């Protein structure tokens, strides 16, 4: 019998352009306390802790071990870390709960992009032989994908601008978002992407608590049950991939059961407007699906946490009764190289 596992709580910082006055642990700690408070759990009650972050972002070696100070990791706790977006930390925690080794898990992620040149920092994740020596920055690579979409007639610049405008308009209702309301679409950063097509650069953190079975029902009035979760990756060489499609997203969605029944909400991790076009197509989202009611990564993109935020936002809508079945997506690498899809459901209200 497979265990049922749910997201029972979510918290995030306000995402901001800079957070000079806070170290990473100082930025993260209030979020950890908030997410624990929502369930009434203490650190010592948590069965497994898993985090996602990258030392390269802020240029602070071993920052993830310092961040653990905010958890209260003494006496030693059962803990793990991934050098990936927190969505993948959540995946690891989900498998840990599936094994029955733990009934609850704390998942957190944080990223401070403000101290470094993030467009250049991200080049260090590329193929070190053929690509990284050219320093193609993150906006340049997304722009190559956007141009391919335009060339093939999947979108055009006004349609991309509309994605940006809708995202930031929706973010008006999200007090944590960095860019809200009417934001000028701006000049080209790398043609055909303009400032408005790119995510804001900023700092932030997020945390989620997972719980299994009855424990989830004790901790949350309406748990967001993870009906399926899967992640897939494509070849690293951009020239081998079909940039206008995302077969890895589609496969992850299929394995997660996303196509079995329609979802009412989708939180997509599309840092660039053009990537939403790719994801909508890969996930076959109809116009009736509410996409990124939070504003998505175009409104706040704390790197390493933005994918976990998508899962948290989708879960929070289920907690509040605003969604019954939601899809959450996270991405990593250039041009949607690696993709994770989770399907979350709330139980029918009459069952409660």
Partner 1 sequence: MTTEVLKAPLVVEFPFTRSLGPVQSAFLTGLREQVVLGVRTTDGRTLVPPVEYAPVTADEIRDLVQVAPTGTVTTWAWNHAPRRDQPLETPFAWVLVRLDGADTALLHALDAPGPDAVHTGMRVRVRWAAERTGAITDIACFEPYDSASDSEVAAHDGQFESMVTGIVAQARLDYSYSPGRAQTAYISALADRRIVGERCPSCRKVYVPPRGACPTCGVATAEQVQVGPGGTVTTFCIVNIKARNLDIEVPYVYAHIALDGADLALHGRIGGIPYDQVRMGLRVEPVWTEGGRYPDHYRPTGEPDADYETFKELL
Cα dihedral sign, 196-330-206-89: negative
Strand order of the β-sheet with 325-332 is 79-82, 48-52, 104-112, 203-212, 5-12, 224-233, 338-345, 325-332, 265-267, 290-291
275 token code pair: 């990537």
**Distance in Å, CB of 70 to partner 1, minimum:** 5
What track of x and - describes contact with partner 1 for positions 276 through 305 (by CB under 8 A)?
A: ------------------------------
Selected range binding partner 1 among 95-103, 155-163, 234-242, 314-322, rule: CB under 8 A = 234-242
Per rule CB under 8 A, is residue 247 in the interface with partner 1? no
Contacting partner 1 (CB under 8 A), which of 1, 21, 349, 352?
21
- Cα–Cα distance for residue pair 36/143, rounded to 1 Å: 40
312 token code pair: 């948290």
**Distance in Å, CB of 147 to partner 1, minimum:** 5
- Cα–Cα distance for residue pair 33/11, rounded to 1 Å: 9
> Nearer to partner 1 by C-beta: 29 or 344?
29
**Distance in Å, CB of 134 to partner 1, minimum:** 6
For residue 32, the number of C-alpha atoms closer than 13 Å in the C-beta half-sphere is 25
- Cα–Cα distance for residue pair 304/282, rounded to 1 Å: 23
239 token code pair: 């020239």
- Cα–Cα distance for residue pair 253/230, rounded to 1 Å: 7
> Nearer to partner 1 by C-beta: 174 or 274?
274
What track of x and - describes contact with partner 1 for positions 37 through 76 (by CB under 8 A)?
A: ------x------------x-xxx-----x-xxxxxxx--
Selected range binding partner 1 among 186-194, 254-262, 264-272, 324-332, rule: CB under 8 A = 186-194
Q: Which helix (H) or strand (E) holds 5?
A: strand 5-12
What track of x and - describes contact with partner 1 for positions 116 through 145 (by CB under 8 A)?
A: xx-xxx--x---xxxxxxxxxx--xx-xxx
Contacts to partner 1 by CB under 8 A: 20-26, 29, 32-33, 43, 56, 58-60, 66, 68-74, 115-117, 119-121, 124, 128-137, 140-141, 143-148, 151, 188, 190-193, 235, 237-240, 243
């Amino acid at each position: 019998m497979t265990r049922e596992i749910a997201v029972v709580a979510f918290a995030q910082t306000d995402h901001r352009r800079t957070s000079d006055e806070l170290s990473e642990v100082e930025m993260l700690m209030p979020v950890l306390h908030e997410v624990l408070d929502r369930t009434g759990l203490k650190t010592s009650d948590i069965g497994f802790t898993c985090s996602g972050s990258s030392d390269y972002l802020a240029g602070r070696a071993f920052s993830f071990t310092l961040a653990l100070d905010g958890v209260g990791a003494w006496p030693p706790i059962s803990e793990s870390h991934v050098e990936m977006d927190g969505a993948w930390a959540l995946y690891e925690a989900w498998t840990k709960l599936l094994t029955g080794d733990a009934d609850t898990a704390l998942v957190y992620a944080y990223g401070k992009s403000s101290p470094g040149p993030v467009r250049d920092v991200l080049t260090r994740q590329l193929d070190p032989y053929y690509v990284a020596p050219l320093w193609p920055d993150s906006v340049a690579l997304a722009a190559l994908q956007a141009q391919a979409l335009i060339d093939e007639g999947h979108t055009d610049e006004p349609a991309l601008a509309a994605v940006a405008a809708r995202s930031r308009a929706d973010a008006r209702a999200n007090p944590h978002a960095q860019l809200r309301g009417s934001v000028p679409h701006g000049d080209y950063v790398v043609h055909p992407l303009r400032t408005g097509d790119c995510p804001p650069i900023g700092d932030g953190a997020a945390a989620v608590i997972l719980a299994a079975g009855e424990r989830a029902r004790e901790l949350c009035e309406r748990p967001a049950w993870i009906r399926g979760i899967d992640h897939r990756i494509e070849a690293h060489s951009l020239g081998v991939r079909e940039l206008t499609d995302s077969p890895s997203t589609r496969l992850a969605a299929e394995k997660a059961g996303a196509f079995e029944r329609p979802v009412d909400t989708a939180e997509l991790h599309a840092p660039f407007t053009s990537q939403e076009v790719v994801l909508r197509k890969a996930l076959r989202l109809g116009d009736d699906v509410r996409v990124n009611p939070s504003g998505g990564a175009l409104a706040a993109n704390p790197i390493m946490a933005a994918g976990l935020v998508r899962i948290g936002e989708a879960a929070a809508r289920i907690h509040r009764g605003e969604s019954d079945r939601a899809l959450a997506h996270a991405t990593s690498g250039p041009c949607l190289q690696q993709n994770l899809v989770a399907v979350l459901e709330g139980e029918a209200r009459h069952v409660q």
